[in-house]
Structure 1
Amino acid sequence: MSDPQELAKALLKVSGPLLIGHLLNWGLFGVLSVQVYIYHLAFPNDHIRNKALSYSVYVLEIVQTMMLTQSAFHAFAEGFGNVEYMMEVGNLWFSVPILSGMIFFITQMFYAYRVHRLSGSSILAGVVIFFALVSFAGAIATGALSRHVGDLTGLLSKNTFITLGIWNGGNAVCDAIIAICMTVSISRRSTGLPQSQALVNKIIRLTVETGSLTAAVAILNLILILLPDHAGYFLAPIGILGKLYSTSMMSVFNSRIVFSDGGIKTLTSASAVDLPRTNWRAEQRGSANRPVRVAVKVTQEQLSFPSNEQTSFWEDKTPVRRADSFQLPTR
């Protein structure tokens, strides 16, 4: 691109959004680091599967942040005032589409597992996996095309816009399905206990907020890609999608922390991310004929009952039957 005017116009379309994307990426990396640190402190004995998932995603985020930092230093510091440095693709073809696509796929598989456990439907989980694979394929195709373009203006080509549309469109559809399925599945689990229902409402709110946020950013990115002037505005939000997915996943893990009057509790005996598939209506019908076990200890001075300790409905708090226990039949 030898014409200075055309080069200046193309530079304005990509340099500003690229700088904003770098700044947002660094800020969200700090948020993610705090989430991972809280998880490390709160759940030292968590399941090895959850630890491997959390730390592997965080390692990928570290690698992506380091590569993006090198790209920003090369463009805005080492090549300050040099337009050719600014327009180089460098490692952006790998750090943004490939690494972000891997992070998307891992987190979406995590949510597909949750959808399967909550709803008990393999079809819904299969739909989530299908759109996750479509999105991952679009990310790989975007990275492959970006690898062979001459400069950043090559990202504004028609073929690249098609692969970007597949990538972000698949993410938007996948996030919408995940948010709807999980919200409906969790809302059906009515416990009838105020404390337990409050935790259910908290999980529903967290699911809607995180799912809506990632879906909204993916849709915004898709809109910016389809703008008629083919500007590079999509370079700003496209670099932060990975951090949003990772942070939303870590917020789900950390949602098992319960704040009570006596301090902070962590639900380690039953994970909020690994729920058993149960038929709650059948349990409620069967509980009508089930004997209630009550542990009572009577002395001359006091009468003590089981404590009203604040717990989660994910935990099994059935009193242990002892020798001085008796059963009260229900009517």
Structure 2
Amino acid sequence: MFVLETGFSILITIAAWNAFGSGWGDPDTLGELDWTWLVMLPLNAILAAMAQGFYSWRIWSLTNRRLWLPILIGCVMLTQVMAAFYSGMTIVVRGRSVSQLFALWPEITVWLSGSATCDLLITASLVYILTRRRRTSQYPHTTGLINKLIRFSVETGSVTSVAALVECTLWLSCREWNIHYIFFFILGRLYSNTLMATLNSRVPIFQGASPTAIIVPQSSFWAEPDIERGQSMNLDLIPRTGVNGSHTTDGTAVRDNIVMSDFQSNTDMTVVGSGVAISEK
């Protein structure tokens, strides 16, 4: 996906130079599609399919390997990919002009609407599955992790869905102004970046924090540090020489206590649940 996104950026640069660099002053250049467009159209669909395929695999894993829902999502995904490839090949045969692109409005509409529909299906499925898992959980820590995953799913799914819907709307309503090109250039890269944001956000949750910082991100795109709520804590600010961990249960709630001792200043810092307490010995 990184290689394809890099190639997509190179193709956009070449297309921009051909239209506004070497073709400067020639109005006919704006009505022609150079060879880069023939690659960018299916490449957009491939990037979307790679991200949607990953989420389909996640749904398949969370539903105990039940196939009907991933198959439904996969059919919509393949439909939008085939529509994009057909549009690209048709432009090659009929001629690389904007007028030929307008003649393919049914196929391009199927591609854009199919991509948005697939994103909405993935988001709704993940939210539903994770919500059911949250109801069966009896541990506050697990419930908190599931809540974060639900939030990540809504954020990443809404970004790509809204972009695909806006491009489809602009394509159907005012395609003669070519405003939809703005979202065409960013749609495929949105899929790759949202997928990477989803994977990066899971690192501090499932693989543990780094030795110098404990950060539990509240969003798939940024972390919201809040020491008072125990969401983020920078250990570089704490002179530490020893760490003692304990786990206690009072019958109704589960608490994780971490005691960090500085044997030079006789100071203990205890993290209890979501609170922080500092005591002098």
Counterpart for residue 189 of structure 1: 133
Counterpart for residue 109 of structure 2: 165
List aligned pairs for 1:42-61, cutoff 5 A: 57-61=1-5
Counterpart for residue 254 of structure 1: 200
- Find the partner of 2:158 among 209, 212, 223: 212
- Residue 101 of structure 1: CA displacement? 1.2
Letter in 2 for 1:122: L
Conserved 8 A contact 2:84-2:111? yes
Conserved 8 A contact 1:149-1:155? no
C-alpha spacing 1:305/1:266, structure 2 compared with 1 (3 Å): closer
Counterpart for residue 234 of structure 1: 180
Conserved 8 A contact 2:42-2:84? yes
Aligned partner of residue 255 in structure 1, secondary structure: helix
> Which runs of 5 or more structure 2 residues have no equivalent in the other structure?
217-243, 249-255, 259-281
List aligned pairs for 1:1-331, cutoff 5 A: 57-120=1-64, 121-147=66-92, 148-157=94-103, 160-190=104-134, 191-227=137-173, 230-258=176-204, 263-264=212-213, 305-306=246-247, 308=256
C-alpha spacing 1:129/1:309, structure 2 compared with 1 (3 Å): farther
Conserved 8 A contact 1:257-1:265? no
- Residue 234 of structure 1: CA displacement? 1.7
User: Could you say which structure has the higher strand fraction?
Assistant: 2
Structure with bigger RCO (C-alpha 8 Å, 6+ apart): 1
Calculate the TM-score normalised by the size of structure 2.
Answer: 0.70
Conserved 8 A contact 1:87-1:151? yes
Whole-angstrom CA distance in 1 between matches of 2:175 and 2:46: 30
Aligned partner of residue 239 in structure 1, secondary structure: helix
> Which runs of 5 or more structure 1 residues have no equivalent in the other structure?
1-56, 268-302, 311-331
* Identity among equivalent pairs (%): 25
Q: CA RMSD in A?
A: 2.6
Counterpart for residue 228 of structure 2: none
C-alpha spacing 1:161/1:304, structure 2 compared with 1 (3 Å): closer
C-alpha spacing 1:238/1:263, structure 2 compared with 1 (3 Å): same
- Residue 306 of structure 1: CA displacement? 4.5
Aligned partner of residue 240 in structure 1, secondary structure: helix
C-alpha spacing 1:126/1:262, structure 2 compared with 1 (3 Å): same
Whole-angstrom CA distance in 1 between matches of 2:52 and 2:98: 29
Letter in 2 for 1:196: T
